[in-house]
Amino acid sequence: MTGVVITGHGFYASGVKSTIQLIAGEQHEVKYVDFLESDEPSDLREKLEHYLDSMNNVTNILFLTDIVGGTPFKISAFCKKEKLQVL
């Protein structure tokens, strides 16, 4: 099974979550992680690692970020483990 982690600046992930839930309902293997103005990059890394650890039934994880080269993209790439893909 493939899991998805959506992350981005501000409330990007929360906004995407709202839209997906409205259209398709709750998606259990999709995680949404906001990178807030008050967060440090290390905070985002901890959040992402927490969600990665909670995704027990997945063999592949796809990261979706808002800006290529931005902090959420870089931290996602840093968290990259075997079979993870950052887009």
Judge whether residue 41 has pLDDT over 90. yes
Judge whether residue 82 has pLDDT over 60. no
Q: Token pair for residue 14?
A: 């929360």
Q: Residue 86's pLDDT is what? A: 57
- Angle CA(6)–CA(85)–CA(10) in degrees, nearest 5? 25
The pLDDT-based confidence of 17 (bands split at 50, 70, 90) is very high
What is the model's pTM?
0.86
Amino acid at the residue 71: T
Describe the strand order of the beta sheet including 30-35 as a list of residue ranges: 30-35, 2-9, 60-65, 84-86
